[in-house]
Amino acid sequence: MSSDMQVFRLPDLGEGLTEAELVNWLVAVGDEIKVDQPIAEVETAKSMVEVPSPYAGTVAELHGEAGQTLDVGKPLISIARSGAAPAPETPSSAEDAVSTGIVASPEVDAAAEAYRTEEKAGSGNVLIGYGTPGGVAGGRTRPRKTSLAVVDRETEARAEAPVASEPAVAGTRIPGKLSAVISPLVRKMARDHGVSLETIQGSGASGLIMRRDVEAAISTPEAPEAPAGPVSVPVAEGDLDSRTGLAVSARTPVRGVRKAVAANMAKSRTEIPEATVWVDVDATALLEMRAELKKRAPHDTPGLLAFIARFVTAGLKRYPALNTRFEIREDGSQEIVGFDGINLGFAAQTDRGLVVPSVRNAHQLSARELDAEIRRLTSVAREGKATPTELGSGTFTLNNYGVFGVDGSAAIINYPEVAMLGVGRIIDRPWVVNGELAVRKVTELTLAFDHRVCDGETAAGFLRYVADAIENPGGALADM
């Protein structure tokens, strides 16, 4: 391969992931790109991420198509070094310009200047833990140009004549004289809000799409799209299932998050000798305490899950065996790995499947801080933007399946953790209080645990601790 060609291989996206599905290319062959410019969107078993380029130059080849699964370390994109091919000289006169088929465009100059102004506000995302250091100032400088040029269409139409390459503004091609030039910031804003740039008429010079144009498109209501989900493969006519004799209606590939969940759950069931304990809990006092706090601070009151999370972290400090990992070493020996801290995972249902983001160092956070972090992680997880670290670093999982309207569940432990606490819905039930029958707000707590790391006494002690804290939240919080 020519020394002027740089091959960028799919990088290690973190957490031991070995493959990723190519969702979408953000560049095309012939594009001029710069260092740290996002070149592709890929979906791993953990999240959707943008992959930035470590090289600047001209895109020579894209190694893969949308929907294809690529292995880490395999070629992703080939980039010709900037300046590898001799660039046509800038015409010194109008006559020279006509002879070469290139004309200067003051409108595109204006577009470039507007682009520079627009980009001062920021740039696109860079893959977490990857890319060049130093931020914008460190490796995103743009070569200064006194003018830009576009290909004369008459010259382009000549079959035998060589076609002059199109110039670029910060890696965004200009396919014609008056095409939109879009900054990474504007492109990111459009992607985040599901706005198609092809449908926007730019208000800037030369049709440049500005931030205000995207904001206007965001504020304009559109027909709701169907939620993202597994895409079924077309089924051939006459496809019959050999076991049932029924016609096959759909075949859905198992990949991405669903593939990871399936593998993780199967491994959990295969390797972990799981046991389960449960208890009904009177949550009336907790609900009353939260209602009282909400009266005082309507917009700054933690949710119920945040309070329960606070009780869980306190319980894990008392029963640390449930905040461990059971490991089998290469030599066959076994050990239980304990942690100096708690990363509290919580199950979040998304359009892409069930994921478990984790609140790092949750034991150091108050209920209010836990609430803020749970909300933030839920949001990024549902947008598919949670990082591999956020999705793969938990030490214990809290699962609020009550939001689905169920009371209990025989939960599967989130491998390689050793325990999971499930919380059912809170409903009115008859309950004996001080010898009198009353209607109380009751929920069911279910703890699934790895019997290799502890016995039932430890599991029951932890579960009872959390239950007592829910029934007497004021006293529990005072002691934490």
**Residue pLDDT tens, the chain, 480 long:** 556 889 999 887 655 567 788 888 999 999 999 988 989 888 776 567 788 888 899 999 999 888 788 888 889 999 998 765 444 444 444 334 333 333 444 544 454 455 445 444 443 333 433 333 333 333 333 343 333 333 344 434 443 443 333 333 333 333 333 335 445 566 667 766 667 666 777 776 656 777 777 777 776 655 444 445 555 666 677 788 888 889 888 888 877 667 777 888 888 989 999 999 999 999 999 999 999 999 998 888 999 999 999 999 999 999 999 999 999 988 889 999 999 999 999 988 888 778 899 999 999 999 999 999 999 999 998 888 888 788 889 999 999 999 889 998 888 999 999 999 999 999 999 999 999 999 999 999 999 999 999 999 999 999 999 999 999 998 888 777
Could you tell me the two tokens for 478?
């005072």
Q: What is the pLDDT of residue 153?
A: 41
Q: What is the pLDDT of residue 447?
A: 97
Nearest residue to 59 (alpha-carbon basis) of 142, 218, 135, 168? 168
Determine how many CB atoms are found less than 10 A away from the CB of residue 412.
17
Do residues 429 and 439 touch, judged by C-beta distance below 8 A? yes
Bridge partners, 43 (sequence order): 21, 48
Catalytic residue positions, numbered: 451
Helix (H, G, I), strand (E, B) or coil at 261: helix
Q: What is the pLDDT of residue 385?
A: 83
Do residues 372 and 395 touch, judged by C-beta distance below 8 A? no
Q: What is the pLDDT of residue 13?
A: 66
Asked whether the whole model's pTM tops 0.85, one would answer no
Cα 236 from Cα 246, distance rounded (Å) = 14
Q: Which amino acid is at 464?
A: R
From residue 457, give the alpha-carbon distance in Å to each of 162, 318, 365.
81, 13, 28
Q: Where in the chain is the domain with CATH 3.30.559.10?
A: 257-479
Helix (H, G, I), strand (E, B) or coil at 216: helix
Q: Where in the chain is the domain with CATH 2.40.50.100?
A: 1-86
Nearest residue to 342 (alpha-carbon basis) of 303, 313, 380, 300? 313
Cα 368 from Cα 390, distance rounded (Å) = 19
- Could you tell me the fold of the domain covering 257-479? Chloramphenicol Acetyltransferase (3.30.559)
Could you tell me the two tokens for 234?
């077309």
Do residues 3 and 20 touch, judged by C-beta distance below 8 A? no
In 232-351 the beta strands, taken as DSSP E runs, fall at 274-282, 324-328, 334-338, 344-346, 348-350
- Could you tell me the fold of the domain covering 1-86? OB fold (Dihydrolipoamide Acetyltransferase, E2P) (2.40.50)
Q: What is the pLDDT of residue 211?
A: 73
